[in-house]
Each structure stands twice: as structure tokens, then as C-alpha cells.
A = this chain, B = another copy of it.
Amino acid sequence: MKVLVTGAAGFIGSNLVDALLARGDSVVGYDNFSTGQERFLEGARAHPAFSLARGDVLDQPALTAALAGVDAVFHLAANADVRFGTEHPRRDLEQNTIATFTVLEAMRAAGVKRILFSSTGSVYGETPVIPTPEDAPFPVQTSLYGASKVAGEGLLSAYAAGFGFHATVFRFVSILGPRYTHGHVFDFARKLLADPTRLEVLGNGRQRKSYLHVEDCVAALLVALEGAPGPFAVFNLGQDHYCEVNDSVGWITDELGLTPRLDYTGGDRGWIGDNPFIFLDAARMRALGWAPRHRIEDSVRATLRWIMANTWVLEARA
């Protein structure tokens, strides 16, 4: 199978590229390297079944050209910054909503109809149903990021209904593991390297979150590539347990051998749009035969160790 991955040089994208190559697929990696990292594709670029297309997901002709002969698209390229959405509201619209439309139009032009799309658990907003199933009550968006992702989901389902696409949506919890480049473990590591004596924690530290290791995430994407029913299906991806931010602080400081003073900014959420309790019901994905293998504590610790072995990423993403 020949697969195109948008955001191929990103955290999840590059892990997916490696997994697709390892199982024998041909892969076109599509990335504009605005946040993607050249180093994440070093292994892939040595592989004969990999080709790199440098381009922007808003460039429909470039996308269409890259789609020649492709059987399926993983559309992972996105602005993944939830927290600072209000500082640049156009970014989520362009890089997520309009970009997803552009990918779909390029696919239509190229005659490619199989798409798998990285959405987010953030689309549930502050849902009253936890653990949250895919058919939770009609959500209210609390972030521009969530709004842009639910817009992307709507486009995929409309293309499935109107143009015969086979579309699969994944609603991720936060993903951890090798090549992780943003999120709370990243922020805590950077802060502690700058000042090991204190750590600022956004909110009261009691926010409850579920996390998934990128290996488990990629395994689910591959299961769904073959197993997700058409024309349209949605799958939550997350672990079957959660932790508090304070738990994660404990694991991180333990890995680093530090005992910083903890300064809480206070309140039950870290920022506007931060959801104090994210816990998704992933039974639908498990019913396809998938099961995550990394527990949250192991994923947090592994992520911290990967960052410490790759401190260049703290500079690259500063």
C-alpha cells in the first residue's frame, strides 16, 4: 500500500512513517517543516520506500501532485497548540479547518478516497459524560483548537456522504513518547532545566488527564487503516486510566532526582479552554483488537527520559 502522511516530520507523523515503512508500505512524507523536525525523518529518508514532499497543506496543487498513486492519506498536519489559540485565532482556522478542506479537495482531484484524520478529545469540550464515548452529547467547544478540529471532522463526514470517501476520525488524548515536542512534560522539563529549585504548575495541579504512548497511538492508526468501517467512523484513542497533573509532576521530578518547590498558579484549570478532566472511553477502538501497552506513568517517565537524551528539541521548539 502507498500511504501519504501529512505532518510526516512531526511527533506522531514521524513515528507513523517509521511504522508504515517497517511493515512494508510505501510512504510519501508531506511536511512544510514549520514545526516538523528534519531529525525525526532521518531513519525514514534512508529507506528506499520513503519519499519526501516538502510542501504546505494549504498548497492544493502541491498536495495533488504528491498524491499520485497514493491509496490512503493520514492527515496529521495541524496547529496543535491548544493553549495559545486566542493569541492568533486565524492560525487554527487556516492550519486546521482550511488545511483539512484543502487536503480533501486535493484528494478529490487526485482520485484518492481513503483518509484518516487526527482529531482530539478536546472536541468534547467540558462534556458531562466521563469516561467519554464517541456519541457523547453534542459538544460545546471551549477552544479555537477544538472548534477547528470539529470543523475538520464535519468536513470528513460530509465528504464521506457526498463524495464516496472512506473517512476515519481519531479523537486523541494527549500523546507521549519519543519525539514528543510540546505539552506538559516538555514545559516542566524546560522549566526545571532552567531552575531546578522551583516549578510553576498551571492551575491547582488537580487536573485529571489521560495520556497515550505514541507507540500505542500508531498501533491504533494501523489497525484502523485496515479495520475501520466505511464510509465514516470515529474512534477515541486513550488509556483506560488517568492521572493528576500532580502525579505527573512527581514522576518527572523523580526521574530528574529533583525536589523543587511547587508554585501553583491556582484555579481548577491551567488556562482558558483547559479541560480539568479528560478521560475518553476507547472501547470502540478496542473492539477492533487494539489495546494500549504503556501505562501513563511509564509513558510520562519514558517521555522525560527521551527529552533528557534529546535536549536539542527544547531549543528547536523554543
Q: Contact residues of A with B, CB < 8 Å?
A: 85-86, 89-90, 93, 97-98, 101, 104-105, 124-125, 134-144, 146-148, 150-151, 153-155, 157-158, 161-163, 232, 234, 272-273
Contact = CB atoms under 8 A, between A and B. Distances in A.
A189 B109 CA distance: 37
A144 B162 contact: yes
A158 B137 contact: no
A161 B272 contact: yes
B158 A141 contact: yes
Given A162-B85, A272-B161, A154 B141 contact: yes
Contacts of A137: 135-138
Contact of A143 (B98, B158, B234): B158
Count the copies. Answer: 2
**What 8 A-B pairs are tightest by C-beta distance, nearest first?**
A147-B154, A151-B151, A135-B137, A147-B158, A86-B162, A141-B154, A141-B157, A142-B161
A86 B158 CA distance: 9
Contacts of A125: 157
A230 to B, nearest CB: 13
A63 to B, nearest CB: 15
A232 B146 CA distance: 15
A97 B151 contact: yes
Contacts of A85: 158, 162
A93 B86 contact: no
Contacts of A104: 89
A128 to B, nearest CB: 9
A221 to B, nearest CB: 20
Contacts of A140: 157, 232, 234
A235 to B, nearest CB: 13
Most chain B CB within 10 A, of A147, A155, A163, is at A147
Nearest to A149: B154
Contacts of A138: 124, 134-139, 234
A151 B151 CA distance: 4
Contact of A157 (B93, B142, B232): B142
